[in-house]
Amino acid sequence: MDRFVIMVDAGYLLRQSIEVVSNRTSSKRAELEIGDPAGLIRLLVEKTRNVLDLGDRELLRVYWYDGVMLSGRTQQQKSIVDLPDVNFRAGTVNSVGQQKGVDSLIVTDLIELASHHAVCDAAVITGDSDLAIGIDLAQRKGVRIAVIGVEDLSAGVSHNQSYEITSRADRVGRIGGAELRPFIRHAHSMSSAPTHPAPAPSEAPSQNAPLTAQEKEKIKALVAEFARSQASLTGAVDPNTKRIDAAVDRALIHDVYQQLAHGKLTNHERNFARTAFRDLVES
């Protein structure tokens, strides 16, 4: 079928967007206002067409993946649900504000669409390395994959995407601040909230917080221990692409996750573990 699909990890897109439009003064989705939801979707569609050179190829739909609290969808989420050609796919939000179940929904939908030949091209707007297996499987069934991120270096915001997905993608694209600002703005809070917000609980580290030297050393030690437990490291890292073998990668991340024992790993933790593993194998 000569159609394409767009799959949006809303947690990633909106977290990156608020940092861009606020010039990194905020990372709170509560302070982000989508003034033109339809315009935002049009931007994602046009960006996908450009990145994949799709011309006037038909859009199947836009899948919008977001965590939903027990109290129900927010007004922002409702404004997305009501748009034509947009399918809202709901994960959950846990007690510390982390969305759950979104990654598995994206992977499942991507594989289902590829298996039924419903699309020949797909754009995934995310930064999460957990989607690497879904990208691999869809590509094996003939689907071209673009991975699109949000980045504005003039505002000090990098794309925050895992090498595991950008290296697998057929095309990589970026959305910048100038493209986002007509549709999204930073709604400054005028409340009497404290100037310096309380730090996140240690058991649920921020996805955006850089790793400290102590945290890096701990992960390095765990990676070294994992490497020693392997029967052989031959073929674990492709010398040309620097990709970690998919089975080894899953085992590595699962091992670090279990050893750190503080819940889902942040992107920084996963990416640093992979970098440490590559360095160890290649040394």
DSSP labels, 216-270? HHHHHHHHHHHHHHSS--TTSB-TTT-PBPHHHHHHHHHHHHHHH-SSSPPHHHH
pLDDT at 60 over 80: yes
Amino acid residing at 184: I
pLDDT for 203: 44
Contacting residues for 99 by C-beta, under 8 A, at least 6 apart? 11, 66, 67, 91, 92, 93
- How do residues 107-163 score in pLDDT, each as one tens digit? 999 999 999 999 999 999 999 888 999 999 999 999 999 999 999 998 889 999 999
Give yes or no for residue 264 having a pLDDT over 90. no
The pLDDT of residue 204 is above 50: no
Q: What percentage of the chain has pLDDT greater than the value 90?
A: 51
Query: Band of the pLDDT at 211, cuts 50, 70, 90?
Result: confident
In sequence order, what DSSP letters do the residues of 217-229 get, joined into one string? HHHHHHHHHHHHH
pLDDT band at 16 (very low <50, low <70, confident <90, very high): very high
Rounded Cα distance between 119 and 114, Å, is: 6
17-31, 154-168, 203-217, 234-248, range with the lowest pLDDT: 203-217
AA letter at 144 = R
pLDDT at 99 over 60: yes
Confidence of residue 171 (pLDDT cuts 50, 70, 90): very high
Query: For residues 240-273, b (16+ Cβ closer than 10 Å) or e, as one string?
Result: eeebbeeebbeebbebbbeebeeebbbbbbbbbb
Q: Is the predicted pLDDT of residue 2 greater than 70, yes or no?
A: yes
pTM exceeds cut of 0.85: no
Buried b (16+ CB within 10 A) or exposed e, 110-129: bbebbeeebbbbbbbbbbbb
Local confidence band at 207 (pLDDT 50, 70, 90 cut-offs): low
Least confident residue range of 30-39, 88-97, 109-118 = 88-97
Choose among 108, 96, 159, 158: nearest CA to 133: 108
User: Mean pLDDT, the chain, as a whole number?
Assistant: 86
Tokens, residue 163? 């090498």
For 179-200, the pLDDT digits (tens) are 999 999 998 643 434 444 444 4
